[in-house]
Amino acid sequence: MRLDGIHHITCITADARGNVDFYARVLGMRLVKKTVNFDAPDVYHLYYGDERGAPGSILTFFEFPDAAPGRAGAGMIHRLRWRLGSDDAVEFWAERLAREGVEFDLDVGDRRSLAFRDPEGLGLELAVVHCHDEPLVAAADGIAPEHALRGFDGVRAFAHPADRPDRLLTETMGFEMPAPDTYVLAGGHRGASYAHDRPPTAVGVQGAGTVHHIAWCDRDQEHAAWREQLARVGAHPTPIVDRQYFQSIYFRELGGVLFEIATPSPGFAIDEDPDHLGEELRLPPQHEHLRDRLTQTLRPLANPRAKAVRP
């Protein structure tokens, strides 16, 4: 059994409109699915990704309109990192972010990168990564393909020293540990990294601008075997949950971060034409009866993609 890099990362926003503007317009990701939180269907669940919504590119947000600003602490992911293809791309993003009024730190060390925050304070990074993984790119207005984000490279999380090194990661999940607190997953198709940092003294607060969980990709669809293996080491995996676009199990790593293992299939084209992903509100069968009410209560969202790509 081998996990194939990151499947998706799910975060929290209090402002779906601002969120679409930042991730779909400024960062140029494709809004690939507009649906609701299956466990609380009164609020949006938005999915961004590459052109096809491929695992490894998917960033999702629950919208909780009343959520107070959160703060990353122990047991929480505090930074998401995407791959860029070249130093030229770093220059491009430095100019684009400056034009958008986004403050950033430019690192010109071994690996050129830009670190910044989204409008709600979520820590983000774009870094030049040379690897053989397929670039997962979306088409976007004003962003040439060679400058576009190429899918996730990894994340950083806060964990207490007592929780490190995390044997659940190395012995059960198949991460290698090339350096202290740095875990690397070498999947068949995609790699990813996961790093632990010493947490701040302030307790973390789950809220707007924080990460809810990270999902790893189970390309071989071996949930039953993963559940058995995780249960054997006391990780308490959930039963298999149907998420409409993928199947999932959930558990926590020793540092407290919520993990999910998700399948690549059936994927985002199961209920929508691949050419028009993310343009209409999609509801799973169990929530379809709520459509009339939801179209009244959910605030309409402008998808910059529909404007840019459609005549």
Shortest reach from residue 87's CB to Zn ion, in Å: 33
CB atoms within 10 A of CB 108: 9
- Do the Cβ atoms of 216 and 2 come closer than 8 Å? no
* Site for Zn ion contains 122 (CB under 5 A): no
**Rg for the chain (alpha carbons), in Å?**
19
Contact with Zn ion (CB under 5 A) among 4, 6, 9, 10: 10
User: Reduced to 3 states, what is the DSSP secondary structure of residue 44?
Assistant: strand
- Do the Cβ atoms of 226 and 172 come closer than 8 Å? no
* Site for Zn ion contains 155 (CB under 5 A): no
Contact with Zn ion (CB under 5 A) among 260, 263, 279, 304: 260
* Site for Zn ion contains 215 (CB under 5 A): yes
Residue 96: which of 129, 126, 54 has the closest Cα?
126
Give the angle 92-94-98 at the CA atoms, nearest 5°: 120
Closer CB to Zn ion, 93 or 246, in the complex: 246
Closer CB to Zn ion, 90 or 211, in the complex: 211
| CA separation for the pair 149, 281 (Å, rounded) | 25
* Site for Zn ion contains 76 (CB under 5 A): no
Please count the residues of the chain: 311
Shortest reach from residue 128's CB to Zn ion, in Å: 28
* Site for Zn ion contains 46 (CB under 5 A): no
* Site for Zn ion contains 218 (CB under 5 A): no
* Site for Zn ion contains 206 (CB under 5 A): no
Which part of the chain contacts Zn ion (CB under 5 A), choosing from 7-15, 77-85, 273-281, 292-300? Answer: 7-15
Closer CB to Zn ion, 33 or 164, in the complex: 33
Furthest CA-CA distance within the chain: 57
Closer CB to Zn ion, 45 or 150, in the complex: 45
Closer CB to Zn ion, 12 or 215, in the complex: 215
* Distance, C-alpha 80 to centroid of its chain: 8
Residue type, 11: C
Shortest reach from residue 303's CB to Zn ion, in Å: 22
Closer CB to Zn ion, 49 or 165, in the complex: 49
Residue with tokens 């010493």: 198
| CA separation for the pair 44, 35 (Å, rounded) | 6
* Site for Zn ion contains 244 (CB under 5 A): no
Which part of the chain contacts Zn ion (CB under 5 A), choosing from 41-49, 103-111, 149-157, 207-215? Answer: 207-215
- Whether the link from the prior residue into 285 is cis, omega within 30° of 0, is no
* Site for Zn ion contains 19 (CB under 5 A): no
Closer CB to Zn ion, 77 or 129, in the complex: 77
Question: What is the DSSP code string of 100-115?
Answer: TT--EEEE-SSS-EEE
Q: Please report, as ranges, the residues that interact with Zn ion according to CB under 5 A.
A: 10, 215, 260
